[in-house]
Structure 1
Amino acid sequence: MAKIPASWATRVAVRRQGLRLELDLRDNLQAVVYYAGRYEPAMFRFLRDELRRGDVVLDVGANIGLHSLSAAKRLREVGGGRVIAFEPAADSLEKLQSAAERNKVAGLIETIPAALGDRTYQADLRADTRYDVADAGVRSLHNEGQLVQRVPVIRLDDWAREHALERLDVVKLDVEGSEIAALSGATRTLTRLQPRAVLVEDKREDVRARLYAVLDQLGYRHSGKVFDRNALFRPDRSVLTASTGRHSLR
């Protein structure tokens, strides 16, 4: 009797949340999408309702691209826009790129194979010791599990300057414990471009005060809304106007 390869039993092609996806069921996030039929539905609804024609969306820690793909699909529906997806893991990025082609939104998504931080260096992306190495959703620069790969870490401020980024409307930041570092390396960009919505994963009480303080210094206040553990921050007009001399926000 022939042995069935593990990949046959774990990789499935499905349609979920209006997207055609190929999922690896060894990853808890992808398993949730497969069995529950959706992932972070409140975030999905927020993006659907929030996005406008021409918006530029920054997805930091894009993983396999569920939110990047949903955002691009919505932007296509409303008349166009741009999604910039930062994802350091090569296997997750390949899934995102393949899904973008499959769902005919590749022209709206720019993928960057890097993590964001407060300085430029090479880091170890590691698995969580409690999960399979294929569990991409819990990989981190702070874990002590199996090495997945060495990845570049860059500052958003440097990338934005080098690529002449002149617009940014919505930011989603979910980087497994590196949120403060990523924000610290993005201060000039966020102050200059003033996105109208910044969503940050907020599930760790031990760092919440520091996280909120960093955003407060950038002129962003908690809106009181949380979408699937992603806290929504909106710009404080008075703070941003005083710091930049601008008198209006998009």
Structure 2
Amino acid sequence: MLSSYKFLISAPFNKEYPIKAFVRFLSWKLIRLFKLQNLKVKFWNNRFFYINHDSFQSMWLMYNYIVDWEEFLFIHYYLRKNSIVFDIGANMGFYTIWISRSIDELGQIHSFEPDTKNFKRLSQNISINQFKGQFHTNNVAVSKQNGKMKMTIGFDGENHLVPSNFGGNSSIINVVCLDDYCNQHNINRIDFVKIDVEGFELDVLKGGIYLLTQKNVDVIQLEINRALINSGTTPIEIISFVEQNGYTFCTYDFKSNKIIPITVNDERENYFIVSNLANVNKI
């Protein structure tokens, strides 16, 4: 327990507010102890989430408050009131809800979550908040083509697509590709896409090849980590695909409020890929 708290305090927001962090830490331990479900908790001054004892994402939110420091700050400063945003692999919706703070009735958020349990939680978390903007929730996965695929079940935020001959616990889900989805919804340009799909990031990018080649997506946030083994993809394959389509891997420096090119390395998992640095850095 002590080691968990020490790790917790290392997070940037928690360093600034250690007492609040400690209260949230103890609160989560009680939620786990009593196996509480759908506990309504206030975050970020004016947003609410249903917290569940069996949700890793609930724990992550309770522990960190500002879940992904660099990424959340970039979203806060970059998005405009009328931005069009995609949250691919939305889980219970903490990115979707954070993004909602930045847009108004002219903006759009398109959230995708194929897991039935997490999609229900996403929908509930959207419903308890009074949002401006247009929200589109999709109980589907995003990949390189439309159709149906198998996905694991029972791994909370770590469920992922699997081959058709997979013999473990799984379910059949609907799958869409970005290009077709955007055509169907008359979307010509996307300001920001967040992708967290447990190793299948390259398939998502391939399904949006027209958007990418036309430079119609300004910024994409994605992960490069050990989950790539789920799809048999290597970091080199993602790097090559991204760079061949004219995008650059970047990090966000919140002190200068700038997106900065970076070499993919083992020290980090989240990256921004950007087609036009000058435009993005007008934030």
Q: How many residues align?
A: 227
Match of 2:98 in 1: 70
Name the aligned partner's letter for residue 82 of structure 1: Q
- Give the counterpart of 1:230 among 270, 273, 279: 270
- Give the counterpart of 2:76 among 22, 25, 48: 48
Structure-2 separation of matches of 1:159 and 1:226 = 32
Are residues 8 and 150 of structure 1, via their aligned partners in 2, closer, same or farther at CA, if it must alter by over 3 Å? farther
Shift of 1:38: 4.0
Worse-matched range after superposition: 50-59 or 25-34:
25-34
Name the aligned partner's letter for residue 83 of structure 2: D
Match of 2:62 in 1: 34
- Give the counterpart of 1:170 among 176, 189, 192: 192
- Give the counterpart of 1:211 among 214, 238, 255: 238
Structure-2 separation of matches of 1:31 and 1:10 = 12
Match of 2:128 in 1: 102
Secondary structure at the counterpart of residue 102 of structure 2: helix
Structure-1 separation of matches of 2:86 and 2:78 = 14
Unmatched tracts of structure 2, length 5 or more:
1-31, 255-267
Shift of 1:166: 2.0
Name the aligned partner's letter for residue 139 of structure 2: P
Per-residue CA distance 1:135-191 (angstroms, 9 max, x = gap): 421111149795353211121111112222122111111100111111111111233
Match of 1:15 in 2: 42
Instruction: Confirm or deny: 8 A CA contact 2:79 2:103 kept in the other structure.
Output: yes
Name the aligned partner's letter for residue 105 of structure 1: F
Structure 2 residue 99 is matched with structure 1 residue 61: no
For CA contacts below 8 A with separation 6 or more, give which structure has more relative contact order: 1
Match of 1:120 in 2: 146
Name the aligned partner's letter for residue 99 of structure 2: A
Secondary structure at the counterpart of residue 75 of structure 1: coil
| Identity level (%) | 22
Shift of 1:70: 0.9
Name the aligned partner's letter for residue 48 of structure 2: R
Are residues 66 and 221 of structure 1, via their aligned partners in 2, closer, same or farther at CA, if it must alter by over 3 Å? same
Shift of 1:82: 0.8
Structure-2 separation of matches of 1:226 and 1:117 = 30
Are residues 24 and 226 of structure 1, via their aligned partners in 2, closer, same or farther at CA, if it must alter by over 3 Å? farther
Shift of 1:212: 1.3
TM-score, normalised via structure 2 length: 0.71
Are residues 230 and 61 of structure 1, via their aligned partners in 2, closer, same or farther at CA, if it must alter by over 3 Å? same
Shift of 1:7: 11
Structure-2 separation of matches of 1:153 and 1:233 = 24
Structure-2 separation of matches of 1:85 and 1:40 = 18
Worse-matched range after superposition: 99-108 or 224-233:
224-233
Structure-2 separation of matches of 1:39 and 1:24 = 16
Secondary structure at the counterpart of residue 10 of structure 1: coil
TM-score, normalised via structure 1 length: 0.79
Per-residue CA distance 1:88-131 (angstroms, 9 max, x = gap): 1122122122211211127532111211111223122214xxxx
